[in-house]
Amino acid sequence: MHPALQGVMTIAIGVIGCVGYFYFSNLFLDKVLYPAKGPNAGRNINRANQIRPWLFLFPAFFALSLYLAYPVFETLRLSLTERLPGNRYEFVGLENYTKMFAEPKFWESMRNNMLWLFVVPAASTGFGLLAAQLTDRISWGNIAKSLIFMPMAISLVGASVIWKLVYDARPEGTEQIGILNALYIFFSGGEPQTWLTVPFWNNFFLMIVLIWIQTGFAMVILSAALRGIPEETVEAAIVDGANPFQIFFKIKVPQIRNTILVVWTTITIAVLKVFDIVFAMTNGQWETQVLANYMFDKLFRANDWGMGSAAAMIIMLLVTPILVWNVRNARREMR
């Protein structure tokens, strides 16, 4: 069968299956199990209404538990075991962790991840705030916003290709086709650099790709927050003779502090999961390894599930503070 046709058929089956479940399970509940007629009609309606929430919730929470909650614990268990030939697992305690901590590549990933964690959220939020503040004041601001926001739609892999062209290096003496080298040679007259192989600094060249993507996100959220600032506060500041910079930093920024925090943490999470950019651009060579790619390496190249799981647990550990903070915020709001 043609792959496209097969695709269409599977789409139909999947969607019909989903709709069918909800429709027929409700039909079954109302017509067969607790029919709303006969001598017990009232009691039956109540019973049906007690069960219905769970009917509505079941597929979603079954999938959530199986695909996100259970893996957390299973990964924890796997990180304490070693996979033996023949699909057997042996408990090895913390050995995977000690082995991992002894690897220089792991500490390189940790160092780089910390760099990413600091630089990317800071730069994205900073640029986002700048773009939000500036575009809000001009007539063509919406078009500008739309264009700065656009990288959000581009895949990390696509973004990697885009930026690889920017960083491209040709041998000395030939025409440079990467804009960075062309500018570098034009202004400094030096030799073309292969930017992605310069240890330490190449991390920043990779980070730029994510900053480029995340700035649009930060800008959109912060621009909405800036618009939500009560005008009286700004007007009062102008009357008191504050200059635009004072208005921005002393009046506006403090009022949107919470939003900045939310943007910062959201980008932090995106950073912790960053995989595609490093995988596509350097694959962790030249000291650019990060945790997510280190884990993928252990998992599918070295085929070491124990150490791969241990690396995943480290990522989970780094996310946990944000997770706790989010849950507490959500619970406070619900009260």
Token readout for 208 is 């730029």
Which residue's CB is nearer to another protein, number 203 or number 221? Answer: 221
Token readout for 310 is 């241990």
Rg (CA), the chain: 27
CA end-to-end span of the chain: 55
Q: How far is the CB of 74 from another protein (least distance, A)?
A: 4
Q: How far is the CB of 118 from another protein (least distance, A)?
A: 18
Token readout for 328 is 């507490």
Q: How far is the CB of 202 from another protein (least distance, A)?
A: 16
Q: What is the DSSP letter of 283?
A: T
Which residue's CB is nearer to another protein, number 33 or number 327? Answer: 327
Q: How far is the CB of 32 from another protein (least distance, A)?
A: 14
Which residue's CB is nearer to another protein, number 122 or number 165? Answer: 165
Q: What distances in angstroms separate CA 92 from CA 32, 80, 159, 175, one per listed residue?
A: 53, 6, 41, 56
Rounded to whole angstroms, how far apart are CA atoms 295 and 278? 12
Q: How far is the CB of 325 from another protein (least distance, A)?
A: 9
Which residue's CB is nearer to another protein, number 53 or number 104? Answer: 53
Q: How far is the CB of 197 from another protein (least distance, A)?
A: 13
Rounded to whole angstroms, how far apart are CA atoms 33 and 96? 52
Which residue's CB is nearer to another protein, number 102 or number 140? Answer: 140
Q: How far is the CB of 65 from another protein (least distance, A)?
A: 9
Alpha helix positions (H), the chain: 3-27, 41-64, 70-79, 95-101, 104-135, 141-149, 156-167, 179-188, 201-227, 231-239, 244-246, 253-255, 257-272, 276-281, 291-296, 305-334
Q: How far is the CB of 111 from another protein (least distance, A)?
A: 19
Which residue's CB is nearer to another protein, number 6 or number 98? Answer: 6
Place of tokens 């202004």: 187
Which residue's CB is nearer to another protein, number 213 or number 287? Answer: 213
Tell me which residue of 306, 304, 305, 308 sits closest to 294, measured CA to CA. 308
Tell me which residue of 161, 158, 180, 160 sits closest to 169, measured CA to CA. 180
Which residue's CB is nearer to another protein, number 105 or number 170? Answer: 170
